[in-house]
Structure 1
Amino acid sequence: MSQKRKTIITCAVTGAIHTPTMSEYLPLTQDDIARQAIEAAEAGASILHLHTRHPEDFRPSVDPEHYAPILQRVKQSTNAVVNLTTGGAPTMQISERIEAALAFSPEMCSLNMGSMNFAFHGLAGRYDSFRYDWEKPYIEGSEGNIFRNTLKDIREAATRLAPHNVKFEHECYDVGHLYTLRHCLDEGLFKAPIFIQFVMGVLGGIGADVENLVFLKKTADKLFGDQYRWSVLGAGAAQMPLAATASQMGGNVRVGLEDSLYISRGKLAVSNAEQVAKIRRIIEDLGCEVATPDEAREILHLKGGDRVNF
């Protein structure tokens, strides 16, 4: 009897888009981020995609000092793969965004594969008031921002992190990002097998439609053949439907409060673990098995949890 396919679940725990007012369940403190990350791993996430926040007012942060207590607790409590953002927030430069990865040498980092209009200003109108003064201008300001990820930025991240043997989660928000990734692979910036995260449903990127997912997958097959592994991130209401579809197409999945604050229509998720448990149940009911952290390491050719600096 053939073995069931292994599906990797990534959990993106807090992110830099959602702000404190939007959900009482969004982890904000270092303690809450660490606790929810550990609970997500216990629920079945083999990769934890981590951002951090300022301890005072919970603005997005990339300060290594703000990461340190989170990483220490996660390392002590789980065998999960840690994936640090190099996206940070759309207002940050690449030199800032890679500082934590340089300091902690994780097994994985995210890496955005192109500049784009990353807009979420529409969220500002959903709330009558905000807990912190920075929230509304930050959200509204996204209408005028360009999330900068130039070829030079990508090269800087790749070359400076190359000595750390980090595996990148290549976040591709549109089809053109796949061609940029192919160019970078041809230049020797990355080593196969590469890991692609199809990011769908962000305003400024490709829409969260199944037809678009099929097209992205066909394009990646053409460009990379058997040199890649892939996953899907559906923003907002697309999170669970696209994850379920991806699992049946042979892909991997990403959930978490970074990508959606909800567990079902109109109902806030009470934790990252709740989302992980739901997608795990769906995946297993549809006949797949969820990969353990060590199986994820084997599938993605990671360096191992014993070679990180935290």
Structure 2
Amino acid sequence: MPKTIITCAVTGAIHTPTMSDALPYRPEDIARQAIDAAHAGAAILHLHARNPEDGRPSVDPAHFAAFLPIIRAETDAIVNISTGGSITMGIEDRLAPAAAASPEMCSLNMGSLNFACHPLADRYDSYKFDWEEAHIRGSEGGIFRNTFADIKQVAATMGGAPHHAKFEHECYEVGHLYNLAFCLKQGMFQAPIFLQFVMGILGGIAADIDNLVFMKRTADKLFGTDYQWSVIGAGGQQMKLAAVAAQMGGHVRVGLEDSLFIEKGRLATSNAQQVEKVRKILELQGNAIATPAEARAMLGLKGTDKVSF
């Protein structure tokens, strides 16, 4: 069985500072947690930025530039910059950080969906910052826009010269796999591709094993053997789906973007704690963990010498 790649999604754009003191939003904290996650076994670091003053999601390239060189100086991990930004942002703004940094990888959401987290708002009586409650409640009326035109723009900007980035194709439901198959036929992407099954988001496919098997079976039908794949089990299904995916030959993603918890009812103290836990689970069931160099070879990446940070 091929080695298993662990991705760590360090901060994201959904959870807010009130929800966990461990969620990093200052650049020094994002850098430290990313580096610690890499040292714990994460070969890929999936990165968003935050406004360092109040923790709100940011796509300002300057906010990324405050932590990217630190991460590169202290770890060989693959940097994967999100083009998802936040659901309230347009594609031009969402593309700006990746275009500025020219990373080895960037994420690419393969279809639009209702992306909601509004039920979380009722768990908190007060908030650290005044933007948080409106951000959470507002997702009830939000649409995460990723049209074919948006996908084409990201592919054209990041996939060819001068960036030559590979994509983490985020698929929140089975229709997104068909969107990707269409885009491949249109010549937007070159195989092998890297799929990320995003499961457990309100508005997308539920995080259960039957759905994971269905997504994998559909990917086999559409892409044959010319792809790598990984899974996100958002929330409480994070570790269970990771264990099953690795047994099926897939890769895994953990991190405070996807779940704030280390087990039911107990908040994680860091991203590295989640990486350490999933690594232990995988190694106990016989999976070998891929190094960054091995992950680069598996995914066909350009190398750290060709990034712009």
Category of TM-score, reference length = shorter chain: over 0.9
In structure 2, what is the Cα distance between the partners aligned to 1:142 and 1:177? 21
Residue among 79, 82, 85 paired with 1:85: 82
Measured after TM superposition, the shift of residue 58 of structure 1 is 1.0
State whether structure 2 residue 55 is matched by structure 1 residue 58. Answer: yes
Residue among 97, 103, 123 paired with 1:106: 103
Measured after TM superposition, the shift of residue 56 of structure 1 is 1.4
Aligned equivalent of 2:4: 7
Structure 1 residue identity aligned to 2:263: S
SS at match of 2:246: helix
Measured after TM superposition, the shift of residue 283 of structure 1 is 0.5
State whether structure 2 residue 265 is matched by structure 1 residue 250. Answer: no
SS at match of 1:289: coil
In structure 1, what is the Cα distance between the partners aligned to 2:293 and 2:3? 12
Aligned equivalent of 1:116: 113
Determine what percentage of the aligned residue pairs are the same residue: 64
SS at match of 2:67: helix
Structure 2 residue identity aligned to 1:100: P
Map Cα deviations across residues 94-123 of structure 1 (whole Å, 9 max, x no partner): 100110111110000000000000000000
* 1:1-310 map, 5 Å: 5-161=2-158, 162-163=160-161, 164-310=163-309
Measured after TM superposition, the shift of residue 240 of structure 1 is 0.4
In structure 2, what is the Cα distance between the partners aligned to 1:201 and 1:174? 10
CA RMSD in angstroms comes to: 0.6
- My pick for the range that moved more, 159-168 or 113-122, is 159-168
In structure 2, what is the Cα distance between the partners aligned to 1:165 and 1:245? 32
SS at match of 1:171: strand
Structure 2 residue identity aligned to 1:288: N
Gaps of 5+ in 1: none
Structure 2 residue identity aligned to 1:121: H
SS at match of 1:189: coil
Map Cα deviations across residues 149-202 of structure 1 (whole Å, 9 max, x no partner): 000000011111121110000000000000000000111111111000000000
Map Cα deviations across residues 35-55 of structure 1 (whole Å, 9 max, x no partner): 000000000000000000012
Gaps of 5+ in 2: none
Structure 2 residue identity aligned to 1:299: M
Structure 2 residue identity aligned to 1:79: D
Measured after TM superposition, the shift of residue 227 of structure 1 is 1.3
In structure 1, what is the Cα distance between the partners aligned to 2:239 and 2:86? 24
Structure 1 residue identity aligned to 2:289: V
Map Cα deviations across residues 189-216 of structure 1 (whole Å, 9 max, x no partner): 1111100000000000000010000000
Measured after TM superposition, the shift of residue 68 of structure 1 is 0.4
In structure 1, what is the Cα distance between the partners aligned to 2:227 and 2:179? 15
Measured after TM superposition, the shift of residue 5 of structure 1 is 2.9
In structure 2, what is the Cα distance between the partners aligned to 1:157 and 1:288? 34
Structure 2 residue identity aligned to 1:282: I
SS at match of 1:86: coil
In structure 1, what is the Cα distance between the partners aligned to 2:14 and 2:157? 26
Structure 2 residue identity aligned to 1:289: A
SS at match of 1:284: helix
In structure 2, what is the Cα distance between the partners aligned to 1:112 and 1:85? 9
Q: What TM-score results when the alignment is normalised by the length of structure 2?
A: 0.99
